[in-house]
Chains A and B, each alone.
Chain A
Amino acid sequence: MIQKDLKGIFLLVFFALITAFSYNYLSPSGIPHFGQWEPLKTDSIKANSIEIIKPSVKKK
């Protein structure tokens, strides 16, 4: 009974992971699998953003 349940869990999770990574790889809205969390960096950049003031040039 436990062996059948474990076999089922293994099959379902295996199928789910294959589907998940295939879909993410093929889909245009996919996110990178590995590496550091990207939005954290962009959020911190937004929070500390500096306004660029364009110099006014006087025309003679």
Chain B
Amino acid sequence: MKNDYTPVFLFIIKLTLGISFIYGSYHRIADPEGFAKILYGTAVFPGVCINILAISIPFVGLVAGFSLIMGLFPRSAVLIINATLSGFILIIGFNLLRGHQFDCGYFVFSSENQTASNIYLLITDFLMLASGIYFLRKTTAS
């Protein structure tokens, strides 16, 4: 069911997801070593694949963000963003459940209270994922 506000909501979601992913990727691209340390700190990935992930994940987010804002394959971009967010949620949730302290560093690279920061990031990721699912449900393939 579509109402008059649906295009406005979709536009806001598009801008919010796109800009937050471009902004989030910028720090990681500027400091790949810092992001590699964060990935290592999650204690989820094996040491061999950390550098490859640290190089590739930020650019996938950057391209998806730009593609979403510019309207090139918007559904594909949102699918990539949703997959990335699901991965973040799984990693953060898994580490919070087992009580492993780590610096997630999505928007910032350091924080004094890391558990509170991770819970805040988990909530933000859930909200972004929900808006991404809403976007997918309301748009048709281009």
Q: Which residues of A contact B (CB under 8 A)?
A: 1, 4-9, 11-13, 15-17, 19-21, 23-24, 29-37, 39-40
Contact = CB atoms under 8 A, between A and B. Distances in A.
Contacts of B140: 1
Interface stretch (B11-19, B29-37, B93-101, B125-133): B29-37
A27 B141 CA distance: 37
Given A1-B140, A5-B79, A37-B47, A16 B56 contact: yes
Interface string B23-66: 00000011111001100100000011011101110111011100
Interface residues of B, number: 32
Given A12-B77, A23-B29, A39-B40, A34 B52 contact: yes
B24 to A, nearest CB: 14
A9 B33 contact: no
Nearest to B58: A20
A17 B33 CA distance: 18
Report which residue of A11, A20, A21 has the largest number of chain B beta carbons within 10 angstroms of its beta carbon.
Answer: A20
Contacts of B32: 24, 29-31
B141 to A, nearest CB: 4
